[in-house]
């Protein structure tokens, strides 16, 4: 099943081709600064020697060098991976990003998934205190509820990025080491695991370090199976959000009425500063329009600005919005998650 359903017909063909070439799976907490595209496309061979990489991995992981050499012997350097990671679709205006996910097709698929797994979602929400609809929204954006886990070999993705993407080579070298370790821990064949071009895998699209830190064995079978076990998949996402400070029953975001230009200088300045302006809502309430009753004076809030189909708008965001950006740093991703969760019936996620 393709990543996007029939709603994609509303996006012009040129934009669709551009999207499918660059976007891949909407994956991880990786909003990477874009380097010079021409430089990225010129990379045809690794920048870092494989022998040096193996030495660093052996020091990092404690895995014998000979074992790492054997695993990496078949690792392929794939230049197109460099191209793809330098053009994340999340960097585009929300007006372009939103129609890819906030669709009737996503709504239908998500409600069906929530109904099919009602008992699992209910148990997980009680245990981890994260709304079922929020977890479902993440799984919808990431892999269409496990249907699109990615076709890139993780070993190739991480080797390519660790050896040929100098801007973040240290990060991806660490992730490659984490991948080798989790493969041993979970008894996986590292040469067969598939996922995204950025090294994320499973229905959750965890990167290796996130898997090792937050994946859970919810079904009790001795494995943390984020590929096929629905309890493990749902529980792992909820556990991630729980550990990053999600507040159950609290709001996420609310669009302020009107465009940015309608607000005074202080409000606009706060919106431009984004996450640098956290404050109790009580300090801002008198400057804002009337808010839904769910918003409380002791809520930790900030303001952000986003380019929507209605122009540049300001949104009031709760700390829960920030928690979503710990999964993926993009404002676009966090707002789309919020809106999709609202579509699925999350009462605290209503943004308009």
- DSSP string spanning 94-121? HHHHGGGTSSHHHHHHHHHHHHHTHHHH
Give pLDDT, residue 97. 94
Beta-ladder partners of 153: 194
Catalytic residue among 133, 142, 175, 339: 142
Q: Is 339 labeled as catalytic in the residue annotation?
A: no
Q: Within a 10 A sphere around the Cβ of 114, how many other Cβ atoms?
A: 19
CA distance 208 to 185: 12
Q: Within a 10 A sphere around the Cβ of 338, how many other Cβ atoms?
A: 28
Give pLDDT, residue 258. 75
CA distance 5 to 42: 34
Domain locations in the chain as residue ranges = 6-11+94-149+213-243, 15-87+150-205, 253-349
Give pLDDT, residue 339. 98
- Domain formed by 15-87+150-205, architecture: Orthogonal Bundle (1.10)
- pLDDT tens digit at each of 352 positions of the chain: 333 333 333 334 444 344 433 444 444 334 343 333 444 344 577 888 999 999 999 999 999 999 999 999 999 999 999 988 887 666 789 999 999 999 999 999 999 999 999 999 999 999 999 999 999 999 999 999 999 999 999 999 999 999 999 999 999 999 999 999 999 999 999 999 999 999 999 999 999 999 999 999 999 999 999 999 999 999 999 999 999 999 999 999 999 987 777 777 889 899 999 999 999 999 999 999 999 999 999 999 999 999 999 899 999 999 999 999 999 999 999 999 999 999 999 999 988 7
């Amino acid at each position: 099943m393709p990543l996007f359903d029939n709603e994609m017909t509303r996006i012009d063909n040129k934009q669709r081709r551009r999207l499918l070439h660059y976007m891949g799976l909407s994956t991880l907490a990786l909003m990477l600064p874009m380097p010079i595209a021409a430089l990225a496309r010129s990379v045809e061979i690794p920048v870092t020697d494989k022998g040096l990489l193996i030495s660093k991995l052996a020091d990092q992981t404690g895995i014998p060098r000979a074992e790492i050499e054997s695993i990496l012997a078949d690792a392929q350097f794939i230049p197109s991976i460099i191209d793809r990671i330098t053009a994340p679709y999340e960097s585009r205006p929300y007006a372009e990003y939103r129609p890819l996910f906030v669709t009737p097709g996503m709504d239908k698929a998500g409600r069906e998934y929530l109904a099919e797994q009602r008992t699992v979602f209910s148990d997980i929400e009680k245990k981890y205190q994260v709304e079922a609809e929020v977890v479902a929204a993440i799984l919808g954006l990431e892999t269409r509820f496990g249907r699109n886990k990615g076709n890139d070999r993780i070993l190739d993705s991480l080797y390519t990025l660790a050896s040929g993407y100098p801007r973040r080579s240290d990060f991806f070298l660490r992730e490659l080491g984490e991948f080798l370790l989790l493969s041993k821990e979970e008894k996986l064949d590292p040469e067969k695991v598939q996922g995204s071009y950025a090294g994320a895998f499973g229905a959750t699209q965890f990167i290796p370090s996130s898997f090792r830190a937050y994946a859970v064995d919810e079904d009790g079978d001795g494995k943390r199976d984020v590929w096929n076990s629905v309890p493990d998949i749902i529980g792992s996402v909820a556990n991630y959000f729980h550990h990053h400070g999600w507040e159950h029953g609290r709001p996420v975001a609310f669009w302020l009425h009107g465009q940015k230009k309608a607000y005074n200088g202080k409000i606009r300045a706060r919106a431009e500063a984004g996450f640098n302006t956290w404050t109790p809502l009580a300090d801002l309430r008198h400057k804002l329009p009337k808010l839904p009753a769910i918003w409380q004076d002791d809520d930790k809030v900030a303001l952000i600005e986003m380019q929507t189909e209605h122009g540049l708008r300001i949104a009031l965001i709760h700390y829960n919005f920030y928690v979503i950006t710990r999964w993926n740093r993009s404002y676009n991703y966090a707002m789309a998650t919020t809106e999709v969760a609202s579509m699925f019936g999350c009462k605290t996620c209503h943004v308009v």
